[in-house]
Amino acid sequence: MADNDIDQIQAEVEARKKEEQDASEDDAKKEDPITPAFVYDCLNANERGDGALFAELHAGKFTFNKTSSSWYRWADHYWDLDVLGHAQRVVENVAMEYLKGEIAENFPERIKKAKGEGDKDKVDQLEARQKAYFARVKRLRSVAGAQSCLNWAHHVEGALHALRCLHHAIVTKSS
């Protein structure tokens, strides 16, 4: 092999590394689809929302085979049957998103402010909303809550993907 060939190959490798690095940086700059508003919408959608949040959090990491009624987990290069129940364990990530949503809404400060303004209706509204977040976390940490979340996750997964594609098409078209 001539030195010229080696130089050509090295140049191609360096160009490819640069492309991958640029793509990785672009991915890092993309907006997180899980916003506090999305989490609140999931909270309001009850168990279906829990499934939607699970599907969004774990897109590309878990999938459900309806024929065999089995969850599969992505194992870097292939889908592996989830015999150890990883999917059920990571329902905790959904609970943690709800806790992050509760924190993002800054309820203690907002409740304190509403109390200072003497706005009892606002206080009651905020306290009820905060309580809803905590109640959902508690439910997801039960066997029935986790199972319900997983049941809905594989029913909303395709719909969420379609919505993300539609949103991307609209954003791309308007840009």
Shared domain check, 39 and 26: no
Higher model confidence: residue 25 or residue 140? 140
Question: How much is the average pLDDT of 42-57?
Answer: 93
Residue 126 and residue 96: Cα distance in Å, rounded? Answer: 20
Residue 80 and residue 71: Cα distance in Å, rounded? Answer: 9
The reported pLDDT for the residue numbered 155 is: 87
pLDDT greater than 90 at residue 162: no
Shared domain check, 48 and 3: no
Shared domain check, 53 and 5: no
Q: How confident is the model at residue 163 (pLDDT cuts 50, 70, 90)?
A: very low
Shared domain check, 103 and 26: no
Mean predicted lDDT score pLDDT of the chain: 84
Within the chain, strands assigned E span 62-65, 70-74, 79-81
The reported pLDDT for the residue numbered 171 is: 44
Residue 50 and residue 93: Cα distance in Å, rounded? Answer: 11
Shared domain check, 46 and 103: yes
Write out the residue range of the structural domain in which residue 14 sits.
Answer: 1-30
Shared domain check, 79 and 2: no
Shared domain check, 169 and 139: yes
Q: Model's pTM, two decimal places?
A: 0.71
| Alpha-helix runs per DSSP H in 58-142 | 86-89, 91-104, 107-116, 120-140
The reported pLDDT for the residue numbered 97 is: 95
The reported pLDDT for the residue numbered 17 is: 77
Shared domain check, 75 and 110: yes
CA gyration radius, the chain: 22
Shared domain check, 103 and 36: yes
Shared domain check, 77 and 11: no
Shared domain check, 130 and 77: yes
Shared domain check, 23 and 106: no
**What is the number of domains present in the chain?**
2
Query: Which one-letter amino acid corresponds to residue 11?
Result: A
